[in-house]
Amino acid sequence: MNKGYQAFEQKMQKIADINYAMSVLQWDKEVNLPTKGARFRTQQISTLAGIAHDLQTESALEEMLNELKNQNDLSPEQAKNIALVQDKFARTKKLSTEFVVRQSKAISKSYHAWLKAREANDYRLFKDAFSTIVDIKKEEAELVGYEDHPYDALMDQFEKGAKTKDITALFKDVRSQLVDFVKRLSDRPQVEGGFLKQFYPKDKQWDYGLEILKSIGYDFEAGRQDISPHPFTTNFSSEDVRVTTRIDENDFSNMLWSCIHEGGHALYEQGLPSNQYGMPLGEYISLGIHESQSRLWENNVGRSLPFWKAHYKGAQQTFPENLGNIDLMTFYKGINRVAPNLIRTESDELHYHFHVLIRFEIEKGLIEGSLDVSNLDEIWRSKYKEYLNVEVPDDKRGILQDIHWSYGSIGYFPTYSLGSFYAAQFFAQACKEIPDLILQIEKGNTQPILDWLRSNIHQHGKRYTAEELCVKITGEPLNFKYFMDYAQEKYNGIYQ
């Protein structure tokens, strides 16, 4: 191996070690941290963030990159890693260590303010911390730079190349096609779903969730599941990928979809090449592609009739009091019940995009300055009334329901809808290339779809952009038509 590249690889792995150590502290913060530990945990994470930033922006790395990029004895994979790190270096260099540490401290304080505000069901307890986050993200957008809209600079770190104008156009499709379709469904007789809102014992739900994760291929020798206020997936390498869930004993759906959704994220991380640890080719492409993996497993597979033909008998045996007298078709229709609700993570897969649209409009307004943190709870309520025709009764089920803003993840939410649309397009292609895929899922064998995802998406790491990958796999860029075709075929059947 080129000695210069070998030194570069060692440096990148050192940076990865620090970032993953920071991730371990963040995972522990959400899963195990005692209340009094928050102050020093904030300091610990901020210290590591500063050290990582110093390493990522030091002149020695810049010199190493400049020297390597002109060498002609690098493999295509090595050259790609160099190019991708250079691109990241250019963005990171625009942010000072002082800014990164200040942002890290603000995020830690914001997270704990969010926890307290949720517990007290009072947005006012989060308002000041969130205002600081918004100011910092505006500052970051100016430091990084943008061509059209400051929100572009924030989306770019989650979905490379994403533009506010393109996301706005995409949501016009949602408005013009999906809104009308959902309205037609609402005029049909509603399907039964009350059996999901009965008492399901916590321990039984936990055990069943583990079985579902195993059934879709999640490797527990390379991961674990825990409980957290907001389900998430984190990784410290492709061989240590952890998921969390939350359990509501009066709502079976909460745990079930959290497990499958986070399991989809985790399968992607476990499928990334471990021999590229610390390098871009060992990392996921974008959050839109990451979300495509969780949504594909949750919706295209996990909410499908073939999947439950294989798994429903086990569910009935685990919860005989709840499901023993519920037939398969009633269960299938119930888990796909379409009705507006308050909580994004508990929404059906069609109304889900209305939730994302609301958050996109709020974030865009905050960053461009047309909206203000001070009365955001009122704006939230008005948008939920306008788009979903629901009344928001309190802050916990309203503006405080998501963890993302407390983490400074502004620009993240659009990737959720992108993910669903990519998922529909990818799954349609997989069905073309694997003629008996649906039959295999019906038999309880999801290995073929996992193998297809490993081959077509996971193994590539960051080799392609999201759009390049979509074209490579399906022959065309992201096309909303695939999601609408999927939705119409499925829900016209359910609602007759």
Residues 6+ apart with CB under 8 A from 31: 226, 227, 228, 244
What phi and psi values does residue 442 have, to the nearest 5 degrees?
Answer: -65, -30
Residues 6+ apart with CB under 8 A from 106: 129, 132, 133, 136, 408
- The model's pLDDT over 141-159, given as tens digits with 9 standing for 90+, comes to 999 999 999 999 999 999 9
- 76-81: average pLDDT: 95
Residue 10 has pLDDT above 90, yes or no: yes
- The model's pLDDT over 190-199, given as tens digits with 9 standing for 90+, comes to 999 999 999 9
- 350-361: average pLDDT: 96
d(CA 381, CA 401): 13
- 69-87: average pLDDT: 92
| Catalytically active residues, by annotation | 262
Give residue 327's pLDDT: 98
- The model's pLDDT over 304-320, given as tens digits with 9 standing for 90+, comes to 999 999 999 999 999 99
Give residue 92's pLDDT: 87
22-36, 121-135, 288-302, 465-479: least confident range: 22-36
Neighbours of 113 (CB within 10 A): 19
- Token pair of 354 as six digits: 């209305």
**SS3 category, 227:** strand
- Taking the model in full, what pTM does it have? 0.90
Residue 230 has pLDDT above 90, yes or no: no
Residue 1 has pLDDT above 80, yes or no: no
- The model's pLDDT over 274-294, given as tens digits with 9 standing for 90+, comes to 999 999 999 999 999 999 999
What CATH fold (topology level) applies to the domain 164-494?
Answer: Neurolysin; domain 3 (1.10.1370)
Give residue 70's pLDDT: 84
Of residues 440 and 54, the one with the higher pLDDT is: 440
- Where exactly are the structural domains of the chain? 3-148, 164-494
